[in-house]
Amino acid sequence: MTRKSYAKVNIFLKIVGKRDSYHQIASRFVLVKNLYDEISFLKKEVDSFTLEGNFSCSLEKNTIYKAYKELEKYESVKEFFKKNIVKIEKNIPEFAGLGGGSSNCACFLNMVNEVCNLNLRKEELAKIALKIGADVPFFVYEYNSANVSGIGEIVEEFIEDSLDIEVITPKIACDTGLIYKTFRDKFYKELDKVKAKELFDTNSKDILKQYNIEDANDLYLPASFLEKDLKNFAKKDWFFSGSGSSFFRINSGKN
């Protein structure tokens, strides 16, 4: 079994409040269909859960391993991964605002749910997903485009035309936690609920026609404050995804 684990971009990302140490967001997540990792389950007898791939973190910190630990209470899951290993072909840059780790985690959850016949509903998988990361529930639902709110746990499908998204990722490692802290300390502002609803009702192309890079993503200013070189990539019609460092634009299909 092999599945594509897609990247995402945030068409907009606005902060609407705080919840303890978390920030509450209003955001439009859109899958990038031309950028994906591939996750495979391969038959192989092993003594313990085995994950193969080129990662920058230890096994214990990998989102797929964390997902496995949440599911190993099911006997069918434990038995399956004594006879199968997980292999990932990585293409999505890490620490780039593209949700690669979150996407891998969600893809794994969906695959295990199917192959081990767990029969968990998407809502149940999303609750497990949220324990691992705020962006993971979006990927569990497998929507092409969705409005995401709360701390990431509220995911509502948004129907719109598919977008041709081009992504560039500078070799700049953005620290998400530090960027949020800098936003809170130096750039804090909240979007009111009326404006958030307007954004949620508007298609992605129209939002990007109305907004510039700073207005679309509240994390761009703190990110570029911390990493000055990001400003070199903030060209006309390019936008910033998540906490970076990736930039994206929508191609119209015109030459």
143: CB partners within 8 A, 6+ apart: 31, 155, 157, 158
**What phi and psi values does residue 159 have, to the nearest 5 degrees?**
-85, 120
Token couple for 135: 């962006």
Angstrom distances, CA of residue 81 to CA of 63, 71, 88, 115, 231? 16, 11, 15, 11, 45
Is 102 annotated among the ligand-binding residues?
yes
Is 160 annotated among the ligand-binding residues?
no
Token couple for 15: 């902060």
Q: Does residue 56 register a pLDDT over 80?
A: no
pLDDT at 141: 98
Q: Does residue 255 register a pLDDT over 60?
A: no
Q: pLDDT band at 21, cuts 50/70/90? A: confident
pTM of the model: 0.93
Q: pLDDT band at 253, cuts 50/70/90? A: low
Q: With contact defined as beta carbons under 8 Å apart, do 245 and 232 qualify?
A: no
Angstrom distances, CA of residue 3 to CA of 21, 84, 101, 109, 184? 34, 15, 15, 12, 38
The helix (H) or strand (E) run that includes residue 34 is strand 22-43
Is 173 annotated among the ligand-binding residues?
no
Q: Does residue 254 register a pLDDT over 50?
A: no
- Of the given ranges (160-164, 188-192, 194-198, 249-253), which has the lowest mean pLDDT? 249-253
pLDDT at 244: 86
Using CB atoms within 10 Å of the CB of residue 118, give its burial: 0 to 12 exposed, 13 to 18 middle, 19+ buried: middle
Q: Does residue 119 register a pLDDT over 80?
A: yes
Share of the chain above pLDDT 90, in %: 87
- Of the given ranges (7-11, 55-59, 93-97), which has the lowest mean pLDDT? 55-59
**What phi and psi values does residue 9 have, to the nearest 5 degrees?**
-125, 160
Region 125-147 average pLDDT: 96
Name the average pLDDT for the chain.
94
Share of the chain above pLDDT 70, in %: 99
Residue with tokens 């998540």: 242
Token couple for 96: 């780039």
CA 24 to CA 21: how far, in whole Å? 10
| Number of continuous H segments (helices) and E segments (strands) in the chain | 10, 9
CA 37 to CA 29: how far, in whole Å? 18
pLDDT at 225: 97
Catalytic machinery residues: 8, 135
Q: Does residue 100 register a pLDDT over 50?
A: yes
Is 49 annotated among the ligand-binding residues?
no
Is 222 annotated among the ligand-binding residues?
no
Tens digits of residue pLDDT in 213-231 = 999 999 999 999 999 999 9
Q: Does residue 32 register a pLDDT over 90?
A: yes
